């Protein structure tokens, strides 16, 4: 049995639903869920 992979749209929806449970307003949760991710900084270990 394999677990289906969520689409980016489904992930955004889950974030919109979950962030208000952490005290973030629904409007801000929607903005955060659809905001582009910042570039990752590559570091040497």
For 1-45, the pLDDT digits (tens) are 778 898 989 999 999 999 999 999 999 999 999 899 889 888 887
User: Reduced to 3 states, what is the DSSP secondary structure of residue 3?
Assistant: coil
DSSP track, 1-45 = --PPPPPHHHHHHHHHHHGGGGT--HHHHHHHHHSPPPPPPP---
pLDDT of residue 41: 87
Does the model's pTM come out above 0.75?
A: no
- Provide the pLDDT for residue 26: 94
15: tokens are: 């974030």
Is 19:29 a contact under the CB 8 Å cutoff? yes
């Amino acid at each position: 049995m394999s677990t289906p992979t969520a689409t980016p749209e489904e992930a955004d929806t889950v974030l919109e639903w979950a962030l208000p449970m952490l005290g973030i307003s629904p409007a801000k949760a929607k903005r955060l869920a659809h905001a582009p991710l910042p570039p990752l900084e590559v570091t040497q270990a």
